[in-house]
A = this chain, B = another copy of it.
């Protein structure tokens, strides 16, 4: 496609990516091009030249991680115990989000999110739908829960993570609480209202 970069340019590109990764993991997606340039020891112009829009930078930073998450979902699909697969998947994603503030913001609907996260959600959605259906057939998940309810769970756990970034175990506990609320059980009150449909989920998580 594009001609390979000159060696110095490629070197700078890598330095920018490394610094940006560190910075975004700590301070979130709002890290400015200026901050990144300073951290990388290059001029702002260089950052803008290589990554004109924030989305370009985020694609380069998070492409691999987002693909991994999608792969995790697909791996979960093949597990025999659907409920365990679903909870395990959500726990693992939360663990990764705890380690990287940027990933958390990317996956939980910050305004900076964009196309990358959208396509990941699109890839993950059918898997989650399948797991939900099977977990209900297994009798592990309450029958009045829907895919939309599962979509709310990372949002809820993510809020705890955001409030206590230093205590990932607390977010896991919040996750467990929410999932316990979706688990099957005797004489539970039905959930009020209705879960969001696909479009609603997209609006929720898409910013």
Contact A163:B204 (CB < 8 A) given known A149-B177, A179-B181: yes
Q: Report A171-197 residues with CB < 8 Å from chain B CB.
A: 172-174, 176-183, 185-186, 188-189, 191-196
A interface, over-half SS: helix
A109 contacts across to B, CB distance below 8 A? 163
Number of copies: 2
Say if the beta carbon of A125 comes within 8 Å of chain B: no
Spell out A's residues near B (CB within 8 Å).
Answer: 109, 145, 149, 152-153, 155-160, 163-164, 167, 169-170, 172-174, 176-183, 185-186, 188-189, 191-196, 200, 203-205
Tell me the minimal C-beta distance from A135 to chain B in angstroms: 14
Tell me the minimal C-beta distance from A186 to chain B in angstroms: 6
A185 contacts across to B, CB distance below 8 A? 180, 185-186, 188
Query: Judging by beta carbons under 8 Å apart, are B169 and A159 in contact?
Result: no
Query: Judging by beta carbons under 8 Å apart, are A191 and B176 in contact?
Result: yes
